[in-house]
A and B are shown apart, each in its own frame.
Chain A
Amino acid sequence: MPALRKELNILIADDDSTTRHVLRLLLREHGHQVVAEANDGDKAVELCEVHRPDIAFLDIDMPRMDGHSAAERIRQAAPGVGMIMVTNLPTLDNVQKALQIGIDGFVVKPFNAVKVVEAIDNCIKHKG
Chain B
Amino acid sequence: MHRNEEIAAATTAGSQEKTFAMAGMRALILAEHSRRWEDLTAPLARFGMRFDIFDSTVEGLAAVNLAGRNGSAYKIVMIERHLQGVDAAVLGGAIRSNPGHREALLVMLDSANGDARPGLPGGGFSASLRTSASGAEFEATLASLCMSASGAPSPVGLPDRRADGEISSAHSGYNILVADDNLVNQQVAARMLEKLGCKAAVAADGMQAVKMHTLTPFDLILMDCEMPVLDGLEATQRIRAAEGTARRTPIIALTACTGQGEKERCLAAGMDDFLSKPIRPQMLGDVLARWLARPAASTVADSACEDELEEVKAMFGADFAELASLYQNDGGPRLAAMREAAAIGDCAKVAKVAHAFGGSCASIGATGLAALSKTVETAAKAGSLESFDQRMAGIENEYRRVCGKLQSLLTQ
What residues of chain A have their CB less than 8 Å away from a CB belonging to chain B?
A: 14-19, 21-23, 25-26, 59, 61, 63, 88-92, 94-96, 99-100, 104-113, 115, 118-119, 122-123, 126
Contact B98 A92 (CB under 8 A): yes
Residues of B near A94 (CB, < 8 A) are 94
Contact B97 A91 (CB under 8 A): yes
Residues of B near A15 (CB, < 8 A) are 355-356, 359
Task: Of the listed stretches B157-165, B213-221, B364-372, B386-394, name the one at the interface; the rest are far from the partner chain.
Answer: B364-372
**Which residue of chain A has the shortest Cβ distance to B359 in the bound complex?**
A16
Task: Of the listed stretches B17-25, B176-184, B247-255, B310-318, name the one at the interface; the rest are far from the partner chain.
Answer: B310-318
Residues of B near A92 (CB, < 8 A) are 61, 64-65, 68, 94-95, 97-98
Residues of B near A17 (CB, < 8 A) are 326, 330
Residues of A near B93 (CB, < 8 A) are 89-91, 95, 108
Contact of B58 among A61, A99, A105 (CB under 8 A): A99
Residues of A near B358 (CB, < 8 A) are 88
Contact of A95 among B90, B323, B352 (CB under 8 A): B90
CB distance from B145 to the nearest CB of A (A): 22
- In the bound assembly, the distance between CA atoms of A91 and B64 in angstroms comes to 12
Residues of A near B330 (CB, < 8 A) are 17-18
Contact of A90 among B94, B323, B365 (CB under 8 A): B94
The verdict on A126 contacting B85 (CB below 8 Å), with A63-B352, A92-B95 known, is yes
- In the bound assembly, the distance between CA atoms of A23 and B360 in angstroms comes to 12
CB distance from A15 to the nearest CB of B (A): 7
Contact A99 B364 (CB under 8 A): no
A–B pairs, 15, beta carbons within 8 Å: A15-B355, A15-B359, A16-B356, A18-B323, A19-B363, A23-B363, A25-B316, A25-B319, A25-B323, A90-B97, A91-B93, A92-B68, A96-B61, A96-B65, A111-B363
CB distance from A83 to the nearest CB of B (A): 11
Contact B90 A88 (CB under 8 A): no
- In the bound assembly, the distance between CA atoms of A115 and B89 in angstroms comes to 10
Nearest 6 pairs between A and B by C-beta?
Answer: A109-B362, A16-B359, A95-B94, A88-B362, A90-B93, A91-B97
Contact of A89 among B308, B326, B364, B374 (CB under 8 A): B374
Main secondary structure of the interface of B (DSSP, over half): helix
Residues of A near B61 (CB, < 8 A) are 92, 95-96, 99
| Other A-B pairs, 13, CB within 8 Å; known A88-B374, A108-B89 | A15-B359, A16-B360, A17-B330, A19-B360, A89-B370, A91-B93, A92-B98, A99-B58, A106-B87, A110-B308, A110-B362, A111-B315, A111-B363
- In the bound assembly, the distance between CA atoms of A38 and B322 in angstroms comes to 21
Any A CB within 8 A of the CB of B82: yes
Contact of B363 among A18, A115, A119, A126 (CB under 8 A): A18
Contact of A16 among B87, B91, B363 (CB under 8 A): B363
Contact A118 B364 (CB under 8 A): no
**Which residue of chain A has the shortest Cβ distance to B370 in the bound complex?**
A88
Contact A106 B363 (CB under 8 A): no
- In the bound assembly, the distance between CA atoms of A95 and B98 in angstroms comes to 12
B:335-382 near A, CB below 8 Å: 352, 355-356, 358-360, 362-365, 367, 370-371, 374
The verdict on A118 contacting B87 (CB below 8 Å), with A89-B374, A90-B93, A90-B97 known, is yes
- In the bound assembly, the distance between CA atoms of A33 and B362 in angstroms comes to 23
Contact of B359 among A88, A91, A123 (CB under 8 A): A88
Contact A21 B315 (CB under 8 A): no
**Which residue of chain A has the shortest Cβ distance to B352 in the bound complex?**
A63
Any A CB within 8 A of the CB of B298: no
Contact A22 B363 (CB under 8 A): yes
**Which residue of chain A has the shortest Cβ distance to B309 in the bound complex?**
A110
- In the bound assembly, the distance between CA atoms of A58 and B365 in angstroms comes to 19
Any A CB within 8 A of the CB of B57: yes
Any A CB within 8 A of the CB of B291: no
Any A CB within 8 A of the CB of B293: no
**Which residue of chain A has the shortest Cβ distance to B62 in the bound complex?**
A96
CB distance from B85 to the nearest CB of A (A): 4
Contact A22 B86 (CB under 8 A): no
Contact A118 B363 (CB under 8 A): no
- In the bound assembly, the distance between CA atoms of A104 and B90 in angstroms comes to 13
Residues of B near A115 (CB, < 8 A) are 87, 89
The verdict on A122 contacting B82 (CB below 8 Å), with A92-B61, A100-B58, A113-B315 known, is yes
- In the bound assembly, the distance between CA atoms of A25 and B93 in angstroms comes to 26
Residues of B near A105 (CB, < 8 A) are 85-86
- In the bound assembly, the distance between CA atoms of A118 and B82 in angstroms comes to 10
- In the bound assembly, the distance between CA atoms of A111 and B87 in angstroms comes to 13
- In the bound assembly, the distance between CA atoms of A100 and B62 in angstroms comes to 11
